[in-house]
Structure 1
Amino acid sequence: IFVGGLEVNVSEDELRHIFGQFGDLVYVKIPPGRGCGFVQFVA
């Protein structure tokens, strides 16, 4: 899942905490300086 519009101070751990409420996560990544991230759930 693409997650856009992130503040520069948002961490991968914060995304993991937020999206982890909706299911088990495989992957969470925020490319440096992009203001976006990617989250992948277990299928």
Structure 2
Amino acid sequence: MSWKCDKCGKTFENEDIPEKCPECNSEGVTFSLVDKKSENE
């Protein structure tokens, strides 16, 4: 699944919702689930 950090906007792959963003390294931020099907069209 693809997740988008609501703080920095970085999208990355992870099996389930991450505890912190690997890009901006912020804890306690929220993540949005990205639908890959609509993104690739």
Asked if TM exceeds 0.5, the reply is no
TM-score by length of 2: 0.29
Higher helix proportion, which one?
Answer: 1
TM-score by length of 1: 0.29
